[in-house]
Chains A and B, each alone.
Chain A
């Protein structure tokens, strides 16, 4: 079973704050993804990566940066957090372009 671990599980920050969400997967998957989940919108793709050093833009990238430092680690950065970024964030990984996505347990972010 693929293991995807997100940290922190909960985070509160203020408007304009700097936040980093972390994700680590331990199954040597090539692809990693960041989604946000909001009521009425389902899950929306923010950024994704094919491998270390690679970054691809998703469907809702504004206000977010991401970095893939190793095959295992994928970070989501909010450099000037806004209340509209209050959401539940999920990281996921998959072995290749046609494989199942494995999701982490999520990080709940509140921007006050």
Chain B
């Protein structure tokens, strides 16, 4: 079945470091791919999406490029801030109608000042 894999459970960085969180997917066709962010005590929030091969999604300084060849959608940010500390979820849309999302297991990002 369709699935999303996030290899890093936790990432610890200092402010101004470069961030990469890896996301790989398994699905047929061209599923829409998403990144959501969850701050402590809140529900997940949509960050951005991409729907086609080589399409780049971006928001708030974060970006990811849809790569059909490597089945990846890695999240990157050039310079993280303490306020970026949160859990980041990669997700894909499956099942045609219904907008059902499969989420990865999440990556906890901790940024030290």
Q: C-beta contact mask, A84-112 vs B, less than 8 Å → 1, else 0?
A: 00000010101011111111111000000
A19-53 residues with Cβ-Cβ distance < 8 A to B are 31, 33, 35, 40-45, 48, 50
Q: B41: nearest residue on chain A (CB-CB)?
A: A105
Contacts of A31 in B (CB 8 A): 98-99
Number of B residues near A (Cβ < 8 Å) is: 22
Contact B99 A41 (CB under 8 A): no
- From DSSP, what is the main secondary structure of chain B's interface residues? loop
Q: Is B100 an interface residue (CB 8 A)?
A: yes
Which among A45, A90, A99, A103 is the interface contact of B100 at CB below 8 angstroms? A45
Contact A43 B41 (CB under 8 A): no
Contacts of B46 in A (CB 8 A): 100-102
Q: A90: nearest residue on chain B (CB-CB)?
A: B43
CB distance from A6 to the nearest CB of B (A): 8
Contact B98 A50 (CB under 8 A): yes
Q: A106: nearest residue on chain B (CB-CB)?
A: B43
Q: B46: nearest residue on chain A (CB-CB)?
A: A100
Which among B36, B42, B104 is the interface contact of A105 at CB below 8 angstroms? B42
Q: Is A69 an interface residue (CB 8 A)?
A: no
Q: Is A56 an interface residue (CB 8 A)?
A: yes
Q: C-beta contact mask, B37-50 vs A, less than 8 Å → 1, else 0?
A: 00001111110010
A105 to B42, CA, bound (A): 5
Contact B99 A96 (CB under 8 A): yes
A31 to B97, CA, bound (A): 10
Contact A99 B43 (CB under 8 A): no
Q: C-beta contact mask, B87-104 vs A, less than 8 Å → 1, else 0?
A: 001000100111111111
CB distance from B108 to the nearest CB of A (A): 10
A residues contacting B by CB (< 8 A) are 4, 31, 33, 35, 40-45, 48, 50, 56, 58-59, 90, 92, 94, 96-106
The 5 residue pairs across chains A and B that have the minimum distance between CB atoms:
A103-B43, A43-B103, A42-B103, A100-B46, A42-B105
With A33-B100, A35-B103, A43-B103 known, 5 other A-B pairs at CB within 8 A are A31-B99, A41-B105, A97-B97, A98-B32, A100-B49
